[in-house]
Amino acid sequence: MRRAIFPGSFDPLTLGHSDIITRAINLFDEVVVAIGINASKKYMFSLEERQQFIQKAFKNEPKVKVVTYQGLTVDFCKEIEANFILRGLRNPADFEFEKAIAHTNRTLSKIETVFLLTSAQTSFISSSIVRDVIRNNGDYTILVPDTVRVK
């Protein structure tokens, strides 16, 4: 089985994330969206909210699973028998950052990293931009799936 893990904080899920997940469904037998837990990080949305955003967005897609994990991504990959780490690239800076992580992961294990370029219409969207728009009472709804709503 070709199982890919798509790790991230997804704080919140964006249209860019959704685009990568949707396109990965055609490449892998299973896409595990893995929400990393980092105790030192301050999140805008709770872990439960982030899980629900993703689960609701992909409720009709049986090939997408949503889980949480702690620790090294490569260790979690081994635990769930994922063969690939999936990452989205928006720009050259993302590539340089992700390349270093991919090389490190490949050194620590034999898990391959697969990069997908974000679509042109979502390449400018990041979770941090969405959080800024939310904090400043802007219309964040054009940047996220319908399942992401601020209470």
Which residues are annotated as catalytic?
Answer: 17, 41, 90, 127
Edge-first strand listing for the sheet containing 30-36? 64-69, 30-36, 3-8, 84-89, 112-117
Q: What is the chain's length? A: 151
ω into residue 62 within 30 of 0, thus cis? Answer: no
Q: How far is CA 100 from the centre of its chain?
A: 18
Q: Which residues contact 7 (CB under 8 A, 6 or more apart)?
A: 34, 35, 36, 69, 73, 76, 85
HSE (CB half, 13 Å, CA atoms) of 69? 20
